[in-house]
Amino acid sequence: MYLSVVVPVYNERDNLPLLYQAVVDALKPIEKPWELILVDDGSRDDSLPVLESLADSDPQRVRVIALRRNFGQTAAIAAGIDHATGAVVVLMDADLQNDPQDIPMMLEKLEQGYDVISGWRKNRQDTFITRTLPSNLANWLISKTTGVKLHDYGCTLKAYRREVITGFRLYGEMHRFIPVFANSVGARILEVPVNHHPRKFGKAKYGLERTFKVVLDLFTVQFLSRYANKPIYLFGGTGSVLILVSGLVLFYLFIRRIFFDVSVMNSPLFQISTMVAILGFQSILMGLIAELLARTYHESQGKPTYTVRKKINFTEDDHS
Q: Which amino acid is at 244?
A: L
We find the least distance from the C-beta atom of residue 204 to ligand UDP, in angstroms, to be: 4
Where on the phi/psi map is residue 30: left (φ > 0), alpha (ψ -120 to 50), or beta?
Answer: beta
We find the least distance from the C-beta atom of residue 45 to ligand UDP, in angstroms, to be: 11
Q: Which amino acid is at 286?
A: M
Check residue 132 for interaction with ligand UDP (CB under 6 A). no
Site string for ligand UDP, 188-227 (x = CB under 6 A): ----------------xxx---------------------
Q: Where are the beta strands (DSSP E) in the chain?
A: 3-9, 34-40, 62-67, 88-91, 116-121, 158-161, 189-194, 308-312
Instruction: Give 175's DSSP letter.
Output: G
Check residue 95 for interaction with Mg ion (CB under 5 A). yes
Question: What residues have CB less than 8 Å from 98, skipping those under 6 apart?
Answer: 92, 119, 155, 156, 157, 194, 195, 196
| Residues between 194 and 213 with contacts to Mg ion, criterion CB under 5 A | none
Site string for ligand UDP, 11-50 (x = CB under 6 A): -x----------------------------x---------
Angle at 176 between CA 171 and CA 182, to 5 degrees: 95
Check residue 97 for interaction with Mg ion (CB under 5 A). yes
Q: Between 212 and 233, name the residue whose CB sits nearer to ligand UDP.
A: 212
Check residue 93 for interaction with ligand UDP (CB under 6 A). yes
Question: For residues 94 and 9, is the Cβ–Cβ distance under 8 A?
Answer: yes
Query: Contact positions toward Mg ion, by CB under 5 A?
Result: 93, 95, 97
Query: Contact positions toward ligand UDP, by CB under 6 A?
Result: 8-10, 12, 41, 70, 72-73, 76, 93-95, 97, 204-206
